[in-house]
């Protein structure tokens, strides 16, 4: 995403929504294709947390809610439409307390534990390895399994990978067969621990790097079945973990992870509400989320120094909005509503990830259902799609597309209290179908923008696609009004060789460009 030469107006822009501003110009260059935007940038995350898995997705085969072997049909159907490329499981913080043997064999004989991280509720291990891979196969997605480094052993981790991937006659492979799965599972990615600086063991990066190398040594698979191995890295405002891991834990490592959450206030004790927030918190949320750009840039600079051959990816394997929990809900369940603001945040992040496509080869929004910035919210047998779901669906053409350079000129900044963020964010790519796709985000909550689109290397005749917007800053879908926020069709034609697009306030637009 590039926003060049923003014009910062001294007056309050919010107070003057009807003013006609200079036209913003978005220029795409189809003659200089960039890197491929890895489809795994659109990855998801499902943790044993609150109703993210139990209730939200897994209801068990005996439930009256229609399901396939325990996975609810409505949720699986909606997620399939998102073309989810990758799902990370079982955590998060939960991963470093998870012992995989608890989750295999007859479900009624599995041990019941307490989910000490998330709400102190009973974890009956109904969803274990076989159930997770059943979901993966129902969704037609890839698996990113996160191993337990914090409270497990190298042996336990190695044996889990063997159990999942071995095609031999080993006792573990035979146990998998006895438990109903003849063929090995495909583990696309395997993470060694999570947030080792915090819930994963409160370690220093040097100590974790030693442990990482130790554990990684014993991860063995049949030829061709080795997952991409992920080292668990740093978070907010930190390059130290990337620095140490890219130096000391680089051998055989496919990616170093990074976590970045968007808090409206930037303060964990009082993050800000998901709905009913003032415009100042719309602005600060946009500002906070855009900080990830700088953080990715700084970490990539470290990788470029230590890994000039660009073998190691930078995986933002947890990101998204994190608000104060919804009043009256279990604080350990991290349930929050999801509004048009979340869709704008998601799209801004996509545009940034595209800019760094060469290194940012995977991201996983937290989380898929009912937790934090979710795609789907459920209540018993009801389900609704959030504005974030719609943003993900609109951006499907960018999965595995080839990034194209894009420049934003004459942008009118969105200003508040002497601070400014870009008004328009843009990204462009050539999709796998050969078409040029452009996405525009208007960060301003009340001001529409006129955007003149120029595409070098293509004689633009028209554009068509979808626009997602809403009247109120906290517009969201409810079970009573599940379609309150949804995309609408949009198209525009060039007049005298010029194509102008009216971008509504607080909007996400994705369209294909036609000659
Ligand atoms: O996504 C919720 C939690 O946030 C994850 O379990 C943890 O890794 C992070 O702190």
- The tens digit of pLDDT for each residue in 182-215 reads 999 999 999 999 999 999 999 999 999 999 999 9
DSSP 97: G
Which tokens in the block code for residue 315?
């995986």
Q: Look at ligand 1, atom 8, and give the residue with the nearest C-alpha.
A: 92
Measured in whole angstroms, the distance separating CA 254 from the mean position of its chain's CA atoms is: 18
CA of 366 to the centre of ligand 1 (A): 8
pTM of structure: 0.95
Distance 118 CA to ligand 1 centre (A): 10
Which protein residue's CA is at the shortest distance from atom 6 of ligand 1?
92
How are beta strands 382-385 and 376-379 bridged, if at all? antiparallel
97 lines ligand 1 (CB under 6 A): no
Residue 2 has pLDDT above 60, yes or no: no
Q: Return all residues near 264 (Cβ < 8 A) that are at least 6 apart.
A: 271, 272, 273, 277, 281, 284, 285, 288, 321, 323
Q: 367 C-alpha to center of ligand 1: Å? A: 9
- pLDDT tens digits for 333-350? 999 999 999 999 999 999
Distances from the Cα of 121 to the Cαs of 113, 118, 125, in angstroms? 8, 7, 12
- The CA 321 to ligand 1 mean position distance, Å, reads 12
Q: Is the CB of 195 under 6 A from ligand 1?
A: yes
Distance CA 239, CA 131 (A): 37
358 catalytic per annotation: no
Instruction: Look at residue 496 in the predicted model and tell me its pLDDT.
Output: 84
Of the pLDDT bands very low, low, confident and very high (cuts 50, 70, 90), residue 23 is very high
95 CB-near residues (< 8 Å, 6+ apart): 47, 146, 147, 148, 191, 193, 194, 200
318 lines ligand 1 (CB under 6 A): yes
Output DSSP code: residue 15.
Answer: G
For residues 150-184, b (16+ Cβ closer than 10 Å) or e, as one string? bebebebbbbbbbbbbbeeeeebbebbeeeebeeb
Catalytic residue among 47, 97, 123, 195: 195
Say yes or no: CB of residue 194 within 6 Å of ligand 1. yes
pLDDT at 17 over 70: no
Alpha-carbon span 503 to 469, nearest angstrom: 10
d(CA 302, CA 318): 20
Residue 285 beta carbon below 6 angstroms from any ligand 1 atom: no
Residue 474 CB–ligand 1 contact under 6 Å = no
pLDDT tens, 217-271? 999 999 999 999 999 999 988 899 999 999 999 899 999 999 999 999 999 999 9
Of the listed 97, 123, 281, 318, which one is catalytic?
Answer: 318
93 alpha carbon to ligand 1 midpoint, in Å?
A: 6
Annotated catalytic, 318?
yes
Pocket of ligand 1, candidates 259, 262, 321: which has the most ligand atoms within 8 Å of its Cβ, to mutate? Answer: 259
Tell me the pLDDT tens digit for each residue of 62-84.
999 999 999 999 999 999 999 99
Q: Which two tokens stand for residue 84?
A: 């989810």
Cβ–ligand 1 contact at 254 (below 6 Å): no
Q: Rounded CA gap, 157 and 192, in Å? A: 9
DSSP 8-state code for residue 363 = E
User: How far, in Å, is the centroid of ligand 1 from the Cα of 334?
Assistant: 10
Maximal CA-CA distance, the chain: 74
- Give the nearest ligand 1 atom to 91 CA: 6
């Amino acid at each position: 995403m590039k926003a060049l030469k923003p014009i910062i107006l001294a007056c309050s822009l919010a107070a003057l929504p009807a003013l006609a501003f200079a036209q913003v110009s978005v220029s795409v260059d189809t003659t200089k294709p960039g890197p491929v935007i890895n489809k795994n940038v659109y990855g998801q995350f499902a943790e044993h947390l609150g109703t993210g898995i139990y209730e939200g997705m897994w209801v068990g085969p005996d439930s009256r809610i229609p399901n396939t072997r325990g996975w609810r049909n409505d949720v699986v159907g909606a997620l399939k439409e998102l073309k989810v490329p990758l799902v990370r499981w079982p955590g998060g913080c939960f991963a470093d307390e998870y012992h995989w043997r608890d989750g295999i064999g007859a479900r009624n004989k599995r041990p019941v534990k307490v989910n000490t991280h998330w709400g102190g509720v009973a974890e009956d291990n109904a969803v274990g390895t076989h159930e997770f891979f059943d979901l993966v196969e129902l969704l037609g997605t890839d698996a990113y399994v996160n191993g337990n480094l914090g409270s497990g052993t190298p042996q336990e981790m190695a044996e889990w990978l063997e159990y999942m991937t071995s095609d031999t006659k080993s006792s573990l492979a035979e146990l998998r067969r006895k438990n109903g799965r003849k063929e090995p599972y495909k583990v696309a990615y395997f993470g060694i621990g999570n947030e080792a600086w915090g819930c994963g063991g409160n370690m220093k990066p040097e100590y974790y790097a030693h442990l990482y190398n130790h554990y990684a040594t014993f991860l063995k698979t049949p030829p061709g079945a080795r997952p991409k191995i992920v080292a668990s890295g740093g978070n907010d405002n930190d390059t130290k973990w990337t620095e140490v891991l890219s130096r000391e834990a680089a051998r055989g490592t496919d990616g170093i992870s990074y976590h970045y959450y968007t808090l409206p206030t930037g303060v964990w004790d009082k993050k800000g509400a998901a709905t009913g927030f003032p415009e100042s918190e719309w602005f600060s949320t946009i500002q906070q989320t855009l900080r990830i750009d700088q953080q990715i840039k700084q970490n990539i600079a470290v990788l470029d120094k230590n890994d000039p051959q660009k073998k190691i990816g930078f995986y933002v394997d947890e990101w998204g909005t994190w608000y104060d929990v919804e009043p009256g809900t279990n604080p350990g369940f991290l349930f929050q509503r999801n509004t048009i603001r979340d869709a704008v945040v998601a799209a801004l992040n996509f545009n940034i990830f595209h800019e760094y496509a060469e290194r940012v080869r995977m991201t996983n929004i937290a989380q898929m259902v009912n937790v934090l910035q979710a795609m789907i919210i459920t209540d018993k047998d009801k389900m609704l799609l959030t504005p974030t779901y719609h943003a993900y669906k609109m951006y499907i053409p960018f999965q595995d597309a080839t990034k194209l350079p894009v420049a934003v000129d004459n942008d009118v900044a969105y200003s508040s209290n002497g601070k400014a963020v870009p008004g328009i964010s843009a990204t462009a790519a050539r999709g796998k179908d050969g078409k040029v796709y452009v996405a525009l985000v208007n960060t301003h909550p009340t001001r529409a923008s006129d955007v003149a689109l120029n595409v070098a290397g293509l004689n633009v005749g028209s554009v068509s696609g979808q626009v997602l917007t809403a009247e109120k800053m906290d517009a969201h879908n409810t079970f009573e009004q599940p379609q309150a926020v949804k995309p609408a069709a949009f198209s525009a034609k060039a007049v005298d060789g010029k194509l102008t697009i009216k971008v509504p306030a607080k909007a996400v637009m994705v369209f294909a460009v036609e000659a």
